[in-house]
Structure 1
Amino acid sequence: MNLFRTSKKSMREKIKKSFEKEEPSSPEFITGIFSQDLQRINQTFEKSSDVVVRTFTIGLDASIHAAIIYTDGLADSTVIQNFILESLMIDINQKGSETVYHPRNKIIQRVKDSILTVGKITDIKDFETLFTDVLSGNTVILIEGFCEAISASTAGWEDRGVSEPTSQTVVRGPREGFSENLRTNTALVRRKIKDSNLYCEQKQIGKVTKTSIAIMYINGIVNDKVVKEVHHRLDKIDIGGVLESGYIEELIQDDTFTPFPTIFNSERPDVVAACLLEGRVAILVDGTPFVLVVPSLFIQNFQVPEDYYQRADISSLLRLLRVICFLIALLGPSFYIAVTTYHQEMLPTPLLISLAAQREGVPFPAFVEAVIMEVAFEILREAGIRMPRAVGQAVSIVGALVLGQAAVEAGIVSASMVIVVSLTAIANFVFPAYNMAISIRMLRFGMMLLSASFGLYGITVGILALLLHLNSLRSFGIPYMAPISPLIPDDLKDTVIRFPQWALFSRPRLISQKNIKREAPPAASRPEPGK
C-alpha cells in the first residue's frame, strides 16, 4: 500500500514537471557579419523550398552586400519587385541619389527614410523575430555591416474574401460575413464603427503556429476590468498551436464543466459591431471566420441580428417562439414519457385509448422507444452534416422518413413517439446559436432518464438543477442569467420581449458599467403621434 502511494506521488511529480513552463531561451541576435547571418538563415530554411533568399549588391561601386528573404505564396511578388528590389537595386545606385554619399553607417537609415516605398516597416534585431516575420508574409531586408534587419509589410496571400455567412443567415440584413483573413475581419468591423475610440490590440499565441489574435473594444464604453481580464487569460495560454477560435474559447472560458456556452461566437460583422456598442470585447483569431465575444449572456443565444431590423412586435413574437421551441426541444420527449408512463390520468380518455392502441404491439417501454428514435435522428443529422452538400440534405430527410415509417410498421416504436421526436428535432433547429442547440441535445437525454425514473417529479428536479447551475455560471465576471437573475428591470427591454428602438436608450448595466446611456431618453426621441 505504501509502495502504491509512493509510486502515485512520484507519478504526480513527473506530470507536474512535464507541465512546468520552460524557461524562455535567450534570443540569438543578428551579428552584422553578412556571410555568417546569411548562413544562419540558409540553415534554417534549408528544407523550405518556398522561402526565397535573394542576394544582391548596392552602392555605386557595388561594395555593399544585401539580401531579401520572403515566403513565396505568402508575400506579394509584385510589391517586392516594384517597391523593394527596384528601389534597392536601381534607385539607390543612381548617381543623383544622395544616399550613396552618406556615411556607410547611416545607409540603413536612409533606406528606411527615403528608399523603401512600402507601407509599414519595422526593425528586427534577433533571428527568431526575423523567421516569424518571413513566415507571416513580410519581406526581410538584410544589409551588410548592420546588426539589425528591416521587415517590410508585403503580405498578399490568396483568401476566400467576403461572402455571405452560412451559419447565421437572415432574410433582411447585411450579406457580408467574416473570412479567414484577420485584417479583412478587423476592416469589416471598422466599416461598421467609424470611431477613433475603437481600439484594436494584437498579440501572437502558439509557440509553433504563432497565430495572430486581435482584441477589439470601444474605449469609454467597455468595462476596463473585462479588458484586463481578457488580456490576462490570453497571456496565460501556453500552447503549441492555435488553428481556430475554438482553441481560445476552451482555454479562456470561466467554467469548463458546463454544457452551456459561456462565450458567444459569430461570423457576422453587424453582430460583433452591435456587441461592441454594448460594451463587450471581441476576440478575432487569424484563420477562422468565427469571432469570439465576451462577456456572453444566456438570453443572447435566443437573439438574431434580424430582430433589430424588423419591427419590435414581429421581433418579440419570434423571440417568444424561440423560447417555446427551447422548452419543446428540452422537455418534449421527457414530458411524453412521464405522462404515458406515470400520469395517464392527465390525458383525455379518447387520447389515452388511442395511444394505448398504438403501443399495443410495441415491445419496449416509452423510454427505450425515445432513446432509439433520438439516437437514430442524431446519426442521421450527423451524417447529413458530414456528407457532401449535394447529397447530405437528401440523405437526412429521406433517411428520417424511411426510418420512421419502417420503425412504425415493424412495431419497434409507436407513431406518436415518431411525431414527438420529429417535433423535438425540428424545434432544435430553431436556435440561432449552434452550440446552444448541441447543449440542449445533450441535456435532453438526461431529462428523459429522470422522467422515466420519477415522472413529472423527476422533470421538476431536473429543471431546478438546471436553474441552479445556470445561476452559478459567470462569463468574465458577469452573471450568465442577467438581467433575469439578478433582476435588472431596465435591462428587460431587450430580452424575450424587444421594446421599440426609441425605448432602448441604455446599455446593459452589468456589461457596460462606465457609459450606460446609449441614446436620448424616450421622452426626447419618441416620435409624436401623427408626425
Structure 2
Amino acid sequence: MNHRQLYQNQDAPEEAVDTTVLRDIKKNIDILKKQFDKCSDVKFRPLMVGKNDAYIIFVDGLIDAKSIEFHALKQLLVDLPDDNLTAEYLEKNIVSVNQVVESNKLSDLVKQVLHGSSILLVDQLDKALVLDAKGGTSRSVAEPDTESVVRGPREGFTENLGVNTALVRQKIRSKELKLVSKEVGTQTNTTIAIMYMENLAPPELIEEVLSRIDRIEIDAVLESGYIEELIEDSPASFFPQIQNTERPDTVAANLLEGRVSILVNGTPFALILPVSFWQFIQSSEDYYQRFHISIFLRILRVTLLFLALLLPAFYIAITTFHQDMIPTNLLFSIAASREAIPFPVLVEAFIMEMAFEALREAGIRLPKVIGQAVSILGALVIGQAAVEAGIVSAPMVIIVSLTGIASFTVPRFNMAISIRLLRFPMMILAGVFGLFGVVIGSIILLTHLNKLRSFGVPYFHPLGPLKWSELKDVFIRVPWWDMDQRPEQFTGQNVVREEKNLKPSPKNN
C-alpha cells in the first residue's frame, strides 16, 4: 500500500474498505451505519421491494428528492416477480432514473453517497444500484462580478461542476473537446475536470498537467487556488503563472488556442494554462469590440500598468535625488507644498500607499453598499484631511490616486495585486538609489520575467523569445480576418484558425 492509500484509509474501518456487498442486507446496513456514525444528515429509508427488505441511502440536501420519489420509489413500491428480482432486472425494468450504475463494493457506495448519489440495497442481492439523482441548492448562472463586460456573454460559472462543464460544451460543440475527471483531497474528495481540445492541445502538455495533479496529496481542496499553488512552475514568484476566470467564453477561447482548463467543483473560478504575461492585460471584450477600440484599450492598459508599478518610484527618485529634471515652476510648486511636511518623500509615499491599500481592502471586505461608500468617501476625506494637517503633500495625493486608478485598469486581479505588491520594493530602491535604483529594480524584474515558465512556455512569449508572426495579438489585436493562425507555442498540431482571404471587400456595382 502506498502513502496515499494509507493516508486515505487510515480512518476507515477495514470491513467497509474491503467488503463486497453481501446478500444479507442487515449486515450491509450495519457496516454502512458504522461508516456514517454520527452523520444525522445521512438517511436510511427502508422499503419493501417485492417481498424483500430494501433500503435507499442518501444525504439529505444533496439529492433531488422529487426525482427519487418519482423515478425510484413509485416504481419499487409495487408487486414485483420474486423469481426475476436481480439488480439487472431492477435497473432495466423498474428504476427510471437517468443514470444507474451497479456496484458490489461497500467502499464505493460510501463514496457515492457522499458525492450526492442515492444507493438502493435489496436483500438477497449481492449488488447495489447507484442512482444518479444529484440535487440540492445551487446558485443560478449569472454575470460574473469580477469580469464584467460592456459587450459579450452575460453568463458566468457557478459552484456546480456539472453546470460549468455544460456551459463550456455550449460554446464548443465538438467531439474533440475532451474531459478527464479526477478526485483530489483525501477528506473532501473534490471532483475536478481537466478540459482540452484533443486536436489542438499538445499531448505532452496534457500528460504534464495530469502528472502534476496526480502528485497532489492533500487532505482538502476547497477552491481552485489550492490546485493553482500546487501545480505552478515557480510558486515563490510574485507573478501568477496560471490564469483564473469566471467566464465560460474565456475558457472556450483559450481551449481553442490549445490550452488546458481545470474546473473544480465548489468554485466558479476555472484555471487556464499555460499562460503568458500578456494574457493578464487582455480582456475577453477585446475580441468582441471592433479592432480599433481593442488596440486603443490595450495600449492604454500597458501604459497604465507601467504607471501603476513605477509612478511613485519615479516621483520619489526625482524629488529626492534629481530635482534638476523637474521644470522650475513645477519644482517651486512641489517645494512649497512640501515645506511643512515632516517626513521624507519615501515615508510620505509609504503612508499614503498603505492608507490607500487599507481603504481598498476595507471596501472589498465590507458589505457591498457600505464598502463602496467607505472606499470612495474614505479616500476623499483622508486625503483632504492629511493635506490640511500637513502630514502629506498635495502632489503625493495626486500621485497615489493616479497609481491606484492605473492598477484598477489591469483586467486580471491576480496580476493587478502582484503589481501593487512590487510597487513597494521599487519605491524603496528609488528612495535609496534614485533613478539608478529604479533601473536596477526594472532589470531584476525583467530578468525574472524572462526566466519564468508556465508549464514550459516562456512567460514573455512571444516577445521572449521573439516571434514576429504572433505579435498580432499582444499589444494590439489585428482584425479577425488577419488573425488566421493560432499561437504556435501553445498548439503545435493545428495552427490554422481560418481560411485566408477573408477580408471583406465591397461588391462592384
How does the TM-score come out when normalised to structure 1?
Answer: 0.92
Q: Which residue of 1 aligns with 2:186?
A: 207
Q: Give the C-alpha shift of residue 45 in structure 1.
A: 2.3
Supply the distance in 1 between the matched residues of 2:191 and 2:118 (Cα, whole angstroms).
18
2:360 corresponds to 1:375: no
> Deviations 1:295-314 (Å, cap 9, x if unpaired)?
11100001111101111111
Letter matched to residue 91 of structure 2: K
**Aligned residue runs from structure 1 range 442-461, under 5 A:** 442-461=421-440
2:62 corresponds to which residue?
Answer: 74
C-alpha distance in 2 between matches for 1:198 and 1:265? 20
Counterpart in 2 of 1:506? 485
What is the aligned partner in structure 1 of residue 162 from structure 2? 183
Q: Which amino acid aligns with 1:525?
A: L
Q: 5+ unaligned residues in a row in structure 2: which ranges?
A: none
SS where residue 18 of structure 2 aligns?
coil
Contact map agreement 2:103 2:109 (CA 8 A) in 1 = yes
Specify every segment of 5 or more residues in structure 1 that has no aligned partner in the other structure, as ranges: 1-18
> Are residue 28 (structure 1) and residue 18 (structure 2) matched?
yes
State the distance in 2 between where 1:22 and 1:348 align. 71
Alignment correspondent of 2:40: 49
CA spacing shift, 1:530–1:330, aligned 2, 3 Å:
farther
* 1:456-501 Cα distance to aligned partner (Å, 9 max, x none): 1111111111111001111111111101111111110000111000
Query: What SS does structure 1 have at the residue aligned with 2:195?
Result: strand
Counterpart of 2:130 in 1: which secondary structure? strand
Q: 2:345 matched to which residue of 1?
A: 366
Match of 2:257 among 268, 274, 278: 278
The AA in structure 2 aligned to 1:46 is D
The code of the aligned residue for 1:274 comes to: A
Residue 46 of structure 1 deviates from its aligned partner by 3.3
| Aligned position for 2:503 | 526
Name 1:13's counterpart in structure 2.
Answer: none
Give the one of 14, 24, 30 matched to 1:39. Answer: 30
Query: Are 1:83 and 2:71 counterparts?
Result: yes
> 1: CA distance between counterparts of 2:399 and 2:243?
30
Task: Supply the distance in 1 between the matched residues of 2:203 and 2:91 (Cα, whole angstroms).
Answer: 37
Please show how residues 172-321 of structure 1 align to structure 2 within 5 Å: 172-321=151-300
> What letter matches 1:73 in structure 2?
G
Correspondence 1:476-495 to 2 at 5 A: 476-495=455-474
Query: By how many angstroms is 1:112 displaced?
Result: 1.6
Structure 1 CA distance for aligned equivalents of residues 462 and 63 of structure 2: 48
Match of 1:319, as an amino acid?
Answer: R
Letter of the 1:394 partner, please give it: A
Distance in 2, matches of 1:75 and 1:455, equals 64
Match for 2:54: what amino acid?
A
Pairs within 5 Å for 1:335-350: 335-350=314-329
Note the C-alpha offset of 1:57.
2.4
Give secondary structure in 1 for the equivalent of 2:44. Answer: strand
Name the counterpart of 2:407. 428
Secondary structure in 2 aligned to 1:216?
strand
Letter of the 1:80 counterpart: I
Question: Separation in 1 of the partners of 2:125 and 2:462?
Answer: 60
Aligned-CA RMSD value: 1.5
Q: In structure 1, what is the Cα distance between the partners aligned to 2:336 and 2:4?
A: 65
* Superposed CA offset, 1:65-101 (max 9, x none): 22110111111111111111122221xx25xxxx544
Within 2, Cα distance between the matches of 1:479 and 1:127? Answer: 48
Amino acid at match of 2:416: A
- In structure 2, the residue matched to 1:439 is 418
